[in-house]
Structure 1
């Protein structure tokens, strides 16, 4: 008996999954909007009904986050997302413009490759499967190995529900033998039409380098500016609500706080009152060594861990009531860990003299890491808010709201999504919160409205009575005078 090498077995598995998904997708493409909606509603309901079970599985398997918060994520990815997209037209004729004589028709992209991170495994599967099938596509998942069981259980639950509602078998597939070679095959295969990449920078870069159209999400590194007109207690509450939600595993969560000299004392006092622990210089240096690995990537040992777990890992002694760890910082750079993305309850704290300095500092932080993603501002001054919105190199400027929940559209009216485009500045193909509308193409049926003879018509010749631009007249007279002088 011949045993296939692990990598070869993974590659073959991907090919089989893609073949099944392609066949199923061809059936999906013939379905009506009503049939597609019935399938998606069944998936969303099944995921919602199992939100607690899946949250606990993800937490136990990965060790990341807080299971109660993962319940909220699963609820968001199923019920909240479905409520937003259920009336969206994604199949057949989208609209008709009788005046311009153009008809828009939705065309599914085909089979989507869904790359799933370990930080938000079950919720990301639910969300990506929902938006993919809503647009008439099949999807094949590449799961993070550290969350494989939770991901497979999620797919089993939504697949059974989808098929019971009329979905063709194979439309939702998942690698059970995930390897880098298998994932590379999934991304490069001719039957993969689009990649939805959520994860580390290396994986997103690989998606864009695959030769297959991709929607990828780079790292978040959002600063939160507390401007002097802000309601400080409420601003601090929102920041801590966000940074402690699932222990900071959402990439839109705050990574640093910027305060002004005029309100620093009040901001620091409020942070401490609400459970922030400010590290001493020695403690800050001690923790700093654990934030990044030698190769410059985030240390997975701190990702999604509580303050107490991080303290135990690093040898720090912090109060049992501490919710976040804060280090005062003045530097920004690749080798300055506090100025970078930290998917854990750790924040940098910067002080500036005014909003103009805050503007420049936030851009320096973002251009160093997190460009195109998200930043937050807490202010009552619309002039300053608009100035930030016009200048910042991000796709989302969140005003007076928690970053993690505002960025994904839970506490704002943006499209609810767990894949957040970063735009060209962030190396992404779109700046949108990804929805089904990003997962179909539009075929336009356009009727002719002009004949060639009409295009060949030339403007009426100049006459004495025609109106003349005064500048043009002066130029013409000067040219005539110069010609006579020559």
Structure 2
């Protein structure tokens, strides 16, 4: 009975939040670009100023990651994202083509449902709220219960700043009684126009099956190929930077390393030099038991944990200065834990003979898990880089850059985002790094430039030519007959 009451209370809360968001969005939709931008700038500034406080709250509440790295993520989600989108046209007339006589007008989608994971809770809230308000949309958040307090505090800070800058109350809100039933109501309600789903596979599938348009992301499982022409010390540094950043909680981070026989020894030596610990076969088998749960899902006990915490959990004895755990692997599959996504400082290590084998292996890994997401290649050979880019079933092929930071657009020039589309191959509605441009529709005002008569087909030149030739032939025959008669 208590559970039922909680579910009913959560559902009612969602309905109330959506009603307020609907009213607020109607006000937002009438605002100018300048008014919207003033609100967004206030939100970004407030979030940036609270970046350290929110990072510590998220780390303390979830037990995931490193708070200092979460400060970087909060800075990225506020300051970095705002600098990218601040001059973007998202309200009113976007473009007017006087020659083609077509005018593009931005139309907000309405109320957005924002699903927030526990791995990147505060930064994802900041980012999603910014791109929603920037496009004249309201947003209602469904928080992960394990990060509820940090998420609520983030929303409090940015919504208060937004309202002081002129944003209508209710445009940014969050469930405080999160339940599965309440979230289902949020996704399926008529007032919800679009779902931005960031979370586990089950949540993303629920979003797509809700009947409401959705932008969701699947799991990442990016392999990193160190091709023989690569700068090995720099490639290893980038992989280590990425895999240790916030203890591997960004889904674009590397999950496996692929090397060639010719550079294997050099890569292993460099990995060890930079703090990687290679597990023995028995240690590898010991850790393997903790990576996945019996139902095949990732074990939350290792997510975002340090090497030392994982070693303690699994009764492994590893050096105190170890930064990443690496297990040599030869197999790929759903029942091969090292070949799957591991949001922790754990990597699989594969060896191939050449780049063609690396190409096939990376595709095998991705087709088992992570299709549509991200992969990395470290190489100085443009021919091989392009071959990978043309063939891989991913939306992002990152070249000579850390996966976690390159995928979200921090160390590359892709759109900065904490929701990364996986395209059709990954079961997603888009392959984009989600930006404001994904959160409005375009109304086109198009002037007529042709009449019906202009569309009717004229007799073709070949038909005219044929007709002329036949007439000439008849005239010739008549002339010959008349000549004979004379």
Please list every run of at least 4 consecutive aligned residues from structure 1 whose deviation after the TM superposition is greater than 3 angstroms. 463-466
The equivalent residue for 2:58 is 58
Structure 1 position 453, deviation (Å): 1.4
Are 1:297 and 2:301 matched, yes or no?
Answer: no
The equivalent residue for 2:433 is 433
The equivalent residue for 1:366 is 366
Whole-Å Cα distance in 2 between the matches of residues 12 and 437 of structure 1? Answer: 32
- TM, length-normalised to structure 2: 0.95
Whole-Å Cα distance in 1 between the matches of residues 462 and 228 of structure 2? Answer: 62
The equivalent residue for 2:402 is 402
Unaligned runs of 5+ in 1: 467-486
Structure-to-structure mapping, 1:315-394, within 5 angstroms? 315-394=315-394
Are 1:101 and 2:101 matched, yes or no?
Answer: yes
Whole-Å Cα distance in 1 between the matches of residues 3 and 208 of structure 2? Answer: 33
Structure 1 position 458, deviation (Å): 2.5
Whole-Å Cα distance in 2 between the matches of residues 242 and 42 of structure 1? Answer: 31
- TM, length-normalised to structure 1: 0.95
For residues 220-252 of structure 1, give each alpha carbon's deviation from its aligned partner in whole angstroms, at most 9, with x where no partner exists.
Answer: 000000000000000000000000000000000
Task: Provide closer, same or farther for how the CA distance between residues 201 and 4 of structure 1 changes in structure 2, counting only shifts above 3 A.
Answer: closer
Say which SS state the counterpart of residue 445 (structure 2) adopts.
strand
Structure-to-structure mapping, 1:436-451, within 5 angstroms? 436-451=436-451
Whole-Å Cα distance in 2 between the matches of residues 95 and 238 of structure 1? Answer: 40
Say which SS state the counterpart of residue 122 (structure 1) adopts.
helix
Structure 1 position 464, deviation (Å): 7.5
Whole-Å Cα distance in 1 between the matches of residues 229 and 29 of structure 2? Answer: 53
Structure-to-structure mapping, 1:39-438, within 5 angstroms? 39-438=39-438
For residues 108-152 of structure 1, give each alpha carbon's deviation from its aligned partner in whole angstroms, at most 9, with x where no partner exists.
Answer: 000000000000000000000000000000000000000000000
The equivalent residue for 1:477 is none
Say which SS state the counterpart of residue 293 (structure 2) adopts.
coil
Whole-Å Cα distance in 2 between the matches of residues 464 and 94 of structure 1? Answer: 47
Say which SS state the counterpart of residue 87 (structure 1) adopts.
coil
Structure 1 position 463, deviation (Å): 5.2
Say which SS state the counterpart of residue 298 (structure 2) adopts.
coil
Whole-Å Cα distance in 1 between the matches of residues 459 and 131 of structure 2? Answer: 51
Say which SS state the counterpart of residue 158 (structure 1) adopts.
helix
Rg larger for: 2
Q: CA RMSD in A?
A: 1.1
Whole-Å Cα distance in 2 between the matches of residues 425 and 3 of structure 1? Answer: 38
Whole-Å Cα distance in 1 between the matches of residues 463 and 439 of structure 2? Answer: 55
Say which SS state the counterpart of residue 413 (structure 2) adopts.
coil
Structure 1 position 3, deviation (Å): 11
Aligned residue pairs, count: 465
Structure 1 position 4, deviation (Å): 7.5
Say which SS state the counterpart of residue 449 (structure 1) adopts.
coil
